[in-house]
Structure 1
Amino acid sequence: MATPSLSWFCFVILLCSAAVEALEGGFSVELIHRDSPKSPFYDPFETPFQRVGKAVRRSIARVRGLRLNDEGEPSANITRIDGDYLINVTIGTPPVSIVAIADTASDLIWTQCLPCDDCFPQEAPLFNPRASSTYAEVDCNSDECHVVDRTNCSTRVFIHTSGIVGLSPGDASLVSQIGGNERTHFAYCLVPFFSTSKYTSKLTFGSDALLAGQGIVTTPLIIKSETLYYHVTLEGTSINGKKFEVSGSTEPDAEPGNMIIDSGTTLTWLPSNLYRQIEPAVSAAIDLPRAKDPISGYNLCYRSSGVLKGAPSITMHFTGADVALNWYNAFFELDENITCFSFVPTDGLPVYGNMAQTDFMISYDLTLDTLSFKPHDCAN
């Protein structure tokens, strides 16, 4: 590898894509929520509320990490902040299975490998590249190794998963590699949090990822050279039909690409100037006793269980695309008889989280640089 600090990771830079290209229309894989019984994270003794609480904590940690990454040179931190969706992949010959995080905010495909004197703990055996007949080292002067050399490494400890499959627009990501000389398409449909014990989500690559039919709305994707994220432009949010705009067209928050969409963040983090406008409107719409948020201290919380009575209609206004949310895209049961608002304020990088994305087909067209939404029962 290019630097000694990277020697304890295997970077899967070049993929054998012939089998992928042979599948007309593309292919699909399972996306496994980390709290699904199919996940190595699954703890049958945890309550649903404990799982939700952990997801909120992960979301807070995740956004702190993304905020740091949004400054300076392009980078993809080799860290693990408990991303919410996993995929099973195999590498090497003979194939070795790894469970990796599917991450739209990372560009690398990597796993830990032998020999390793400075690895973080993981439950699965480390990949042994010398036991693979298709393993080959990459020259340090190659373009591929230059991509890895720009990577920002960290020794944060994380366990259970065996690595990350990056889905960002970066050159080293899976999305970029399977497209060959042409930019490709991918889509996913995330089942709601309360369905993850019964159903898995789907991640699709190729032309099958393009949406058709009624109800599709589309917004421009903005790929910024200084970050490896998928940016969209949030113009405002409507609460029960009243629109609140991201303040001022001259403000930085209102510039194109003022928010990223991320599969690994649970909550939705709004620009603080917008959140301050909508919080009173949400509060006024819900006639239920207030409760204290037992975890973050950010959220509007109410004494309620199950379907939140009186939940307001909420529409996200992206440039060219108005996305009308289901009540459970914006509210979640955080504890027994406590339901909270899943939107929180940030003065850092706003993030459209995965809870807001559930029960939508979300399609990334990297040829036209567009992002499309279509309401869908993702359990089916």
Structure 2
Amino acid sequence: MAMQSLLCALVLMVVNGALIQGLTVELIHRNSPQSPLYNASATPEDLSTDAATRSLARYRNYYTQTKIQSTVIPNGGNYLMKLAIGTPPVEQFAILDTGSDLIWIQCQPCDNCYKQDYPLFDPSQSSTFSNNVGCDSNACNALPRSGCGQTNNQCLYDYRYGDKSYTDGELATDTFTFDGQADTEFPGTVFGCGHMNAGTFSHGSGLVGLGQGALSLNSQLSDTIHNKFSYCLVPFISGLNSKLKFGDDVDVNSAANAVSTPLQAQDDSFYHLNLEAVTVGGNTISGGGDIIIDSGTTLNYLDPGLYDALEAAVREMVGLNSVQHPNGAYNLCYETESLTAVPAIEMTFHFTGADVVLNSINIFRNVGYGLSCLSMLPSDGNGPRIYGNRAQINFQVEYDLGSKQISFAPADCTQF
């Protein structure tokens, strides 16, 4: 899929009139008190079960979608980005998704909108809003499904997700401003102004796609940000926000312990890697093959044969009696009150050209019920394999789309 910036939407980052090449914004975990999705009454058991349920639903929708559907389920994402749209800027919270392309938000007038916790964006109040994106434009042609206005050449979009959620509206442009960067503007950003939206979007404003398609945020900014971005995901228990960086702010490859693996060419918007083997202790288990790295899926979903051998090796190394998870959301669990009570094991994912060494926080998760469980599951038969966000905690992860590679560097993400 083309990674070129849209000719009709060349976006520049402008700070006091000067061109800049880098940007850092905060990623807010969906369960943070700062998030519109926050549920103060949720217990640790609720949160872990919900995470596993969303992860499984998102995973299954990776291979149930059709050609005219977008990816997975929009409510599956774990991280939100605060941004502002329009002039004057109006604050929004949108789910960040490396598995989607389109940027879209709910807009007035809204014929059918789900509930969100703050006013909908009203384009009539923005002096920089334009809906003059034509049906024959590059932007409109980049949509999987689109149409034309009955009385004009206006591009209309109809975006469907794997769980039957949808957003319909007009393709438009406006100025985007990111939280904490009041003087940094992205004029002419192409986005979907959704007038009919329904499904599992919860209380957020919409979605910011970071996939490989031409309408994603990173693709629209590719020339300005040197076609690269990175994130560093903090442990949820830290209470801090993660960081998303673009352009010159990305510095993963400057780390002495950074490793890189090539992106695998595929006919979709996902980021595919090649997994050659996994080592548990001294036991190297070959296999894995094509695997999608995804910021919105919590758990790892591995080739069934690879998973079975990995689970057996983990059981042998841990040496404790396992117990069943109360609702079966996880396959391998131990009765422990904290991750530190699980004997440390060594686990390395061997991608082509890159050995990524995981820590306990990447391998297990405290799921409540006095249990710590393996944060990996077998994939469904011939379904896709996923490298989820749990395995990426405390790593700088760089997407260098110009060089067509992804890099990993272990880090204390609370310091970024």
Partner of 1:4: none
Partner of 2:386: 351
Q: How does 1:126-141 map to 2 (within 5 A)?
A: 126-137=120-131, 138-141=133-136
- Which amino acid counterpart does residue 163 of structure 1 have in structure 2? G
- Which amino acid counterpart does residue 129 of structure 2 have in structure 1? Y
CA distance in 2, matches of 1:360, 1:78: 24
CA contact (8 A) 2:26 2:81 kept: yes
- When residues 39 and 259 of structure 1 are mapped into structure 2, their CA distance, relative to the original with a 3 A threshold, is same
TM-score by length of 2: 0.80
CA distance in 1, matches of 2:144, 2:49: 36
User: In the TM superposition, what whole-angstrom CA distance separates every residue of 1:72-104 from its partner, at most 9, and x where no partner exists?
Assistant: 537525952231000101111111111001110
Partner of 1:217: 259
Q: Secondary structure at the match of 1:36?
A: coil
CA distance in 1, matches of 2:393, 2:76: 18
Q: Please state how far the C-alpha of 1:54 moved relative to its aligned partner.
A: 1.5
Q: Please state how far the C-alpha of 1:221 moved relative to its aligned partner.
A: 1.2
Partner of 1:283: 315
RMSD of equivalent CA atoms? 2.1
- When residues 18 and 194 of structure 1 are mapped into structure 2, their CA distance, relative to the original with a 3 A threshold, is closer
CA contact (8 A) 2:86 2:127 kept: yes
Structure 1, 325-334 or 285-294: larger mean CA deviation: 285-294
Q: How does 1:128-167 map to 2 (within 5 A)?
A: 128-137=122-131, 138-150=133-145, 152-153=159-160, 154=166, 155-167=198-210
Partner of 2:305: 273
- When residues 66 and 81 of structure 1 are mapped into structure 2, their CA distance, relative to the original with a 3 A threshold, is farther
Q: Please state how far the C-alpha of 1:57 moved relative to its aligned partner.
A: 1.3
Q: Secondary structure at the match of 2:249?
A: helix
Structure 1, unaligned stretches of length 5 or more? Answer: 1-12, 247-252
| Alignment pair present for 1:59 and 2:55 | yes
CA contact (8 A) 2:99 2:209 kept: yes
CA distance in 2, matches of 1:16, 1:345: 42
Q: Please state how far the C-alpha of 1:186 moved relative to its aligned partner.
A: 0.3
Q: Secondary structure at the match of 2:143?
A: helix
Partner of 2:361: 328
CA contact (8 A) 2:330 2:374 kept: no
Question: What percent of counterpart residues are identical?
Answer: 42
CA contact (8 A) 2:69 2:144 kept: no
CA contact (8 A) 2:297 2:388 kept: yes
- When residues 74 and 359 of structure 1 are mapped into structure 2, their CA distance, relative to the original with a 3 A threshold, is farther
CA distance in 2, matches of 1:332, 1:308: 12
Q: Secondary structure at the match of 1:68?
A: coil
Q: Please state how far the C-alpha of 1:124 moved relative to its aligned partner.
A: 2.5
Structure 1, 82-91 or 296-305: larger mean CA deviation: 296-305
- Which amino acid counterpart does residue 334 of structure 1 have in structure 2? V
CA distance in 2, matches of 1:62, 1:186: 23
CA distance in 1, matches of 2:335, 2:354: 33
TM-score by length of 1: 0.87
Partner of 2:28: 32
CA contact (8 A) 1:270 1:351 kept: yes
Q: Please state how far the C-alpha of 1:61 moved relative to its aligned partner.
A: 1.2
- When residues 230 and 280 of structure 1 are mapped into structure 2, their CA distance, relative to the original with a 3 A threshold, is same
Q: Please state how far the C-alpha of 1:42 moved relative to its aligned partner.
A: 1.9
User: In the TM superposition, what whole-angstrom CA distance separates every residue of 1:113-133 from its partner, at most 9, and x where no partner exists?
Assistant: 122212222222221112211
Task: Name segments (4+ residues, structure 1) moved above 6 Å.
Answer: none
- Which amino acid counterpart does residue 103 of structure 2 have in structure 1? I
Partner of 2:352: 319
CA distance in 2, matches of 1:165, 1:315: 31
Match of 1:103 among 87, 97, 109: 97
CA contact (8 A) 2:276 2:351 kept: yes
CA contact (8 A) 2:229 2:244 kept: yes
- When residues 134 and 55 of structure 1 are mapped into structure 2, their CA distance, relative to the original with a 3 A threshold, is same
User: In the TM superposition, what whole-angstrom CA distance separates every residue of 1:101-160 from its partner, at most 9, and x where no partner exists?
Assistant: 111001010001122212222222221112211111111221211223536423424321
- Which amino acid counterpart does residue 286 of structure 2 have in structure 1? E
| Alignment pair present for 1:17 and 2:12 | yes
- When residues 167 and 63 of structure 1 are mapped into structure 2, their CA distance, relative to the original with a 3 A threshold, is same
User: In the TM superposition, what whole-angstrom CA distance separates every residue of 1:284-311 from its partner, at most 9, and x where no partner exists?
Assistant: 1112232111234442011112114323
Partner of 1:243: 284
Q: Please state how far the C-alpha of 1:45 moved relative to its aligned partner.
A: 2.8
Q: Secondary structure at the match of 2:356?
A: strand
Q: How does 1:298-317 map to 2 (within 5 A)?
A: 298-306=330-338, 307-317=340-350
Partner of 1:228: 269
CA contact (8 A) 2:226 2:247 kept: no
- When residues 228 and 308 of structure 1 are mapped into structure 2, their CA distance, relative to the original with a 3 A threshold, is farther
- When residues 140 and 79 of structure 1 are mapped into structure 2, their CA distance, relative to the original with a 3 A threshold, is farther
CA distance in 2, matches of 1:127, 1:190: 29
CA distance in 2, matches of 1:357, 1:46: 24
CA distance in 2, matches of 1:74, 1:318: 31
CA distance in 2, matches of 1:366, 1:135: 29
CA distance in 2, matches of 1:117, 1:237: 50
